[in-house]
A = this chain, B = another copy of it.
Amino acid sequence: MGIAERKEREKRRRRARIMNAAKKVFTDKGFGGATMEEIALEAELSPATLYLYFKNKNDLYASLNLKMLEFLVWRLEELRDQEGLDAEGRVRGLADALYDVYQNDPLILFNVFHLQSTHVLTELPPETLDEINGLSARALRIMAGIFQQGIDEGVFADRAAIALADTVWAVFTGLVLWEESKRLFDSGKDFLKPTLDLAIETIVQGIKKG
């Protein structure tokens, strides 16, 4: 391994360390409440160092979300490409896939939304923005594809596949937010998975032909 390569790797490691710290602090305090100093503290680095790896607070936040979206897309692609599944099974698989995403990183939607709600977006460089929007669209398209498959195969009623994907996504987003906000008060209820399962099952029943 060349020196340059090793350095590159070292750099990525540091980036990851910062992102982990940021994830933690953002979760605890929200975007507005988190301070760069606290993130630095968590990462055992100085605040100034953060700026060597991320242009600014927004950039750090966006990177976090990007990483999460990437996992989402990857997981959905895995579901799409899984063999031996009919459309119905694949839709049911959505519940697991989405829950995986949540498990892997409970923050993902919480933060994705937060990102969008705090107008942080508007201050992001256009490339980053495009990347985020691109990944979101891709995820949705995959979900829509799954529904479309069922429609094409004649097992689902002829609904707008994209709207169904929107619905799934909306349910998921809403449930995550809710779960998280409950966590603040109730002692960590875990109603997400059962409710998500029920929702998906209801949708499957609702669109199944005959």
Contacts and interface: CB of A to CB of B under 8 A. Distances in A.
Interface string A187-210: 000010011001101111111000
Number of copies: 4
Given A202-B207, A206-B204, A207-B205, A173 B184 contact: no
Interface string A157-172: 0011001101101111
Q: Interface size bucket, A side?
A: 35 or more
B33 A119 contact: yes
A177 interface: yes
A30 interface: yes
A173 B166 contact: no
Q: Is the interface of A mostly helix, strand, loop or mixed?
A: helix
Interface string A29-73: 111110000000000000000000000000000000000000000
A169 B180 contact: no
7 contacts: A30-B119, A31-B32, A110-B117, A121-B185, A170-B172, A202-B207, A205-B206
